[in-house]
Amino acid sequence: MSGAQTSAFQAAAGFPPSAGEGLFIGAAMTFLLLWSAWAMYSTWRGWATNNLDSATAGVSAIRIVVL
């Protein structure tokens, strides 16, 4: 962005463009954490009710942790 564009963005938004990057990264990490918690809970619930065997539950848990 040019200096004029940066100034216009900051005047309109009230924060610099670099702060928007932090906001986006924070939102993405929050989404990933919530998705991981949901996926682990769903895997555990399936394993606890014997709807999912141990091998499949283990593979699912490893995939979630790696992501």
pLDDT digits (tens), the chain, 67 positions: 888 999 999 999 898 888 888 889 999 999 999 999 999 999 999 999 999 888 999 999 999 989 8
User: How high is the pLDDT of residue 3?
Assistant: 87
Q: DSSP of 9-64, one letter per residue?
A: HHHHHSS-HHHHHHHHHHHHHHHHHHHHHHHHHHHHHHHHTTSS-HHHHHHHHHHH
Residue 66: φ, ψ to 5°: -65, -40
User: How high is the pLDDT of residue 12?
Assistant: 93
**Long-range contacts of range 32-35, CB-CB < 8 Å, 24 or more positions apart?**
32/67
User: How high is the pLDDT of residue 18?
Assistant: 85
Q: Which two tokens stand for residue 29?
A: 């990490």
In terms of residue numbers, what domain contains 48? 3-66
Number of separate domains in the chain: 1
